Amino acid sequence: MSYSIVLLANTLQTFVQIYVLLMLVRILLSWFPNINWYDPPFSILSQLTDPYLNLFRSVIPPLGGMDFSPIIAIFVLQIGAQFAIGLLGLLASGVQTAL
């Protein structure tokens, strides 16, 4: 039972790392105005990251032409993942003490 919880925590951590990397690539590519976001490699990246980023863009307006919502989005994602991994760690230690 404990191994599955550790596997779940590792999978969650890996997923968050990959998703943050995808968001960073998306943010860096947004600095290039000539990118067509409808072309296949860019449209896939946009479809993967924009729904999550749009949650924060609707709450935090751009200030002085700068969009700070991705910073908050990455921060919230990492804090949430660490909280979930911590809970899984507590669950795993609870399972071990029960055995």
The domain ranges of the chain are 2-98
What is d(CA 96, CA 39) in angstroms, rounded to the nearest whole number?
50
Mean pLDDT value across residues 23-27 = 94
Q: What percent of the chain has pLDDT over 90?
A: 58
Question: Would you place residue 44 in the very low, low, confident or very high pLDDT band (cuts 50, 70, 90)?
Answer: very high
Question: Would you place residue 97 in the very low, low, confident or very high pLDDT band (cuts 50, 70, 90)?
Answer: low
Q: Provide the total of helices (H) and of strands (E) in the chain, helices listed first.
A: 3, 0
CB 95 within 8 A of CB 2: yes
What is the structure's pLDDT at 64? 85
What is d(CA 8, CA 2) in angstroms, rounded to the nearest whole number?
10
What is d(CA 20, CA 44) in angstroms, rounded to the nearest whole number?
15
What is d(CA 52, CA 18) in angstroms, rounded to the nearest whole number?
14
Q: Is the pLDDT assigned to residue 66 strictly greater than 90?
A: no
What is the structure's pLDDT at 89? 84
pLDDT, the chain, mean: 89
What is d(CA 76, CA 82) in angstroms, rounded to the nearest whole number?
10
